[in-house]
Amino acid sequence: MSAPLSLPLEGIRVVEFTHMVMGPTCGMILADLGAEVIKNEPPGGDKTRRLPGLGIGFFRSFNRNKKSVVIDIATAEGQATAVDLIGECDVVIENFRPGLMREFGLDYDTLSQRYPRLVYASHKGFLPGPYEKRLALDEVVQMMGGLAYMTGPVGRPLRAGASVNDIMGGMFGAIGILAALRERDRTGRGQEVQSALFENCVFLCSQHMQQHAMTGEPLPPMPARVSAWSVYDVFTLAEGEQLFIGAVSDKQFVALCGVLQRPDIAADPRFGSNAQRVATRPELMPLLSAALQEQRVDALMPKLEAAGIPYAPIVRPEQLLDDPHLKASGGLAPMTTEDGGTADVVLLPLSMGGRRPGVRRALAKVGEHTQEILGRLARRSRG
């Protein structure tokens, strides 16, 4: 549970009204960077704690380094308590359905009249516009935002295998919060920050939009794409094992042929340049595939690395828990879970001054810090 002795957001207090992935990701980023993040849960706890199936890991993954309080913001008493707590904070994060926080009197317009320095981050499906009142999910916006079309084979749109928009939406929310805090240092005033799933997904697909704008040609999905490089694919090796290989320069192509002991392929005039190899790819790929079918993945990878050729085994998520690079670089850290056990969690993908922002506290139990936080409020009101 080690962490740097000092962190950049120490002294910043955040209250979080969130569930699922998007809002909690934003709060976790701020918490990892040193902010005091107070997560409000409804009576009985955030339902995300009890999700089954593919959602079972959500709460542990995106709620570390936070404190937990229970305030029922659906009641007048809870709303009044929440308003008082917000008054002690720099930042509010929320990701509930459009209009819910307004119904509770906890929206930015209402709160900013009382707390003009407040930075308020809303995480929604859509930014203001014709779609803004729609409910959205990561899968919904992947279909609407071009990502599912680009990921799946022709005629079979396929969502990405992780909550990419939820997670990146939380990241953009955190970026907006940091910018708003910096602006508050100059102006003395807070502001509302909005981050949205749909706009996030469109941003992910912006390169493809520009491709069409520049060429005027319909875009093929990634499985049907014409690659800019001839050798940029997943190959089947001995015993059915798979390996991605990307030889993206003439030098790398020649080196690959050398590793495979097929200098004749490199010397073939049909394959002399990348442009030629792309044009003759139907002739080239069977030659490389046949040579690779005789190779074992564990024997080939060191040779590719020594030759400076990009490669990647096809790794399942559970295998990453034992990844030697993640372990050696500090990308995994033990966290005490709410049941008293221990689990390795993935840290933020960044280093600051050579240090990884780490795990500072156990995953909070439901309402574990209610007495501490609300007691602090009561003492200040009496003072």
Task: Look at residues 315, 343, 371 and tell me which one is the last residue of a structural domain.
Answer: 315
pLDDT at residue 276, rounded to an integer: 96
Indicate if 307 and 349 belong to the same structural domain: no
**Residue 176 CA: distances (Å) to CA of 37, 120, 122, 125, 324:** 17, 10, 10, 16, 34
Indicate if 287 and 247 belong to the same structural domain: yes
Is the model's pLDDT at 2 over the cut of 60? Answer: no
CA dihedral defined by 160, 166, 167, 172, rounded to 10 degrees? Answer: 120
pLDDT at residue 255, rounded to an integer: 98
Indicate if 42 and 126 belong to the same structural domain: yes
Average pLDDT over every residue of 96-107: 97
Average pLDDT, the chain: 96
Indicate if 274 and 302 belong to the same structural domain: yes
Count other Cβ atoms within 10 Å, centred on residue 306: 10
Indicate if 311 and 328 belong to the same structural domain: no
CATH number of the domain within which 242 lies:
3.30.1540.10
- Cα(202)–Cα(223) distance, integer angstroms: 20
pLDDT at residue 380, rounded to an integer: 81
Is the model's pLDDT at 1 over the cut of 70? Answer: no
Indicate if 269 and 298 belong to the same structural domain: yes
Indicate if 254 and 133 belong to the same structural domain: no
The answer as to whether 2 is a domain residue is no
pLDDT band at 227 (very low <50, low <70, confident <90, very high): confident
The per-residue pLDDT for range 215-224, each reduced to its tens digit, is 999 999 999 8
| Amino acid identity for residue 81 in this structure | T
The per-residue pLDDT for range 60-88, each reduced to its tens digit, is 999 999 999 999 999 999 999 999 999 99
What six digits make up the tokens of 110? 């209402």
The answer as to whether 341 is a domain residue is yes
CATH number of the domain within which 371 lies:
3.40.50.10540
> Which residue from 162, 130, 161, 148 is spatially nearest to 205, judged by alpha carbons?
148
The per-residue pLDDT for range 297-331, each reduced to its tens digit, is 999 999 999 999 999 999 999 999 999 999 999 99
Indicate if 127 and 35 belong to the same structural domain: yes
The per-residue pLDDT for range 4-18, each reduced to its tens digit, is 468 999 999 999 999
Indicate if 296 and 328 belong to the same structural domain: no
The per-residue pLDDT for range 336-370, each reduced to its tens digit, is 999 999 999 999 999 999 999 999 999 999 999 99
Containing domain of residue 85, as a range? 13-205+323-382
Q: Total structural domains in the chain?
A: 2
The answer as to whether 221 is a domain residue is no
The answer as to whether 212 is a domain residue is no
The answer as to whether 216 is a domain residue is no
Indicate if 288 and 378 belong to the same structural domain: no
Residue recorded with tokens 């906890």: 106
Indicate if 187 and 83 belong to the same structural domain: yes
Task: Look at residues 315, 333, 365 and tell me which one is the last residue of a structural domain.
Answer: 315
The answer as to whether 77 is a domain residue is yes
pLDDT at residue 5, rounded to an integer: 67
- Look up the pTM and report it: 0.94
Count other Cβ atoms within 10 Å, centred on residue 134: 14
Is the model's pLDDT at 3 over the cut of 60? Answer: no
The answer as to whether 374 is a domain residue is yes
- Cα(157)–Cα(166) distance, integer angstroms: 19
The per-residue pLDDT for range 242-296, each reduced to its tens digit, is 999 999 999 999 999 999 999 999 999 999 999 999 999 999 999 999 999 999 9
Strand order of the sheet with strand 13-17? Answer: 66-70, 36-41, 13-17, 91-94, 119-124, 192-196
pLDDT at residue 379, rounded to an integer: 84
The answer as to whether 81 is a domain residue is yes
The per-residue pLDDT for range 32-62, each reduced to its tens digit, is 999 999 999 999 999 999 999 999 999 999 9
Indicate if 43 and 158 belong to the same structural domain: yes
Task: Look at residues 315, 347, 362 and tell me which one is the last residue of a structural domain.
Answer: 315
129 φψ region: left (φ > 0), alpha (ψ -120 to 50), beta (else): left
Average pLDDT over every residue of 112-127: 98
pLDDT at residue 4, rounded to an integer: 45
Is the model's pLDDT at 143 over the cut of 90? Answer: yes
